[in-house]
Amino acid sequence: MIEKQRHITEMYELNHIHDKSTAKGFDYENNLYEKVMSPQMFKNQTTADYLSYMQKCSVWMINSVCFVRNFFDYGVDKYYDRHTN
């Protein structure tokens, strides 16, 4: 997510056109809070909107920490996400 935002969209897609990950990880960018929290939390529209906003913040925090795993690997960009989760 961070790597995609720091590049021009067309250049990112051109550079990653052949990236096909065979490993399937958990899709936490779209349904992190739906799997973790009770469905009762999402019945109120105001609370659901707030949680969707907080989910974006949580996903950003998770992705911003991913570069720590690549920090000492000089062969890759520190924002390169080679891990499934």
What pLDDT, in 10s, does the model give residues 43-59?
999 999 999 999 999 98
Q: Residues 76-82: contacts with CB within 8 Å, 24+ apart?
A: 77/3, 79/2, 79/3, 79/6, 80/3, 81/3
Other Cβ atoms less than 10 A from the Cβ of 42: the count is 15
Q: What is the pTM of this model?
A: 0.53
> Where exactly are the structural domains of the chain?
2-70
DSSP string, 49-61: HHHHHHHHHHHHH
Is there a contact between 33 and 54 (Cβ–Cβ < 8 Å)? Answer: yes
pLDDT at 45: 94
**Token pair 């690549």 is at which residue?**
70
What pLDDT, in 10s, does the model give residues 3-62?
677 778 888 888 777 766 665 677 778 888 988 899 999 999 999 999 999 999 998 888
- Measured CA to CA, the distance from residue 60 to residue 29 in angstroms comes to 9
- Interior CA angle at 23 toward 28 and 21, to 5°? 95
